[in-house]
Amino acid sequence: MRPGIQVRPAQAPDLEALVDLCLEARAEAGVGVQLCSDDRGRLREQLAVLGSVEGGRVLVATCDGAPAGLLLCRLMGPGLFTDATVLGLEAVFVRHDLRRRGIGHALLQAATALADEAGATEVFAAPLPGARGMQRFFARLGFAPAAAHRHVSTAALQRRLTQDAGALAGARGAAARGLEDLIERRRRARERAGAEPAGEVRQVRSMSMHVRRAVQTRRPSGSSTTTS
């Protein structure tokens, strides 16, 4: 760590400086709304809550006594599906004019010490989309891709779910109607198949009757007479 750079747990007097750092990070990010609120009062409250909840940590880095960066993280686990404890980095930010002085490394060294002390076996980070500098920074430190995050607005998700539900209901209705039509066609086919033998019997009987009548009315071949 370079002389003049210090990393320590944030205290109540640091809140305003931390809010300034959060707002600066939000303004720099292309997707600031995913990073934090733009309301100072809410930011103060959220930072205070993170620092007080179990596993939550707020670290502040200073350069020559002035706030220069922050790191927000949480220790997670063991949980329902895992026995491991991990450290999740929620935000890492260094003021633009103080970069390339080792402040980011100092923040990560402090976070690593927290992980080691808590027995965390892995450290996870989710840099914001578009934050290429931070992504390169994590890559240089050995962070590898672990999962892909996707996001959608609640309103858009609700609309899509409603559309899909309507389409699914329509498909089910069409399938039910198709099944009913198939059953009806088969019923009619069975009725026709059951009626056809009776008709054939009547036709055979009628033909037999006509043959018998023709035989009975036909003259014998020896009944003809001749004259001399």
Strand partners, 58: 72
pLDDT of 45 over the 80 cut: yes
Residue with tokens 């390339």: 100
What pLDDT digit, counting tens, does each position of 85-135 carry? 999 998 999 999 999 999 999 999 999 999 999 999 999 998 766 678 888
pLDDT bucket at 140, cuts 50 / 70 / 90: very high
pLDDT of 215 over the 70 cut: no
What is the C-alpha separation between 2 and 69, in angstroms, rounded? 15
What is the C-alpha separation between 7 and 58, in angstroms, rounded? 10
Residue with tokens 């009619």: 188
- Please tell me the number of Cα atoms within 13 Å of 93 on its side-chain side: 26
End-to-end CA gap in the chain: 154
More confident of the two residues 106 and 80:
106
What is the C-alpha separation between 46 and 52, in angstroms, rounded? 10
Length of the chain counted residue by residue: 228
pLDDT of 188 over the 50 cut: yes
**Selection from 93, 94, 74 nearest residue 85 by Cα:** 74
Percent above pLDDT 90 for the chain: 40
pLDDT of 24 over the 60 cut: yes
Note the pTM of the prediction, 2 decimals.
Answer: 0.66
Q: What average pLDDT is seen over the chain?
A: 81
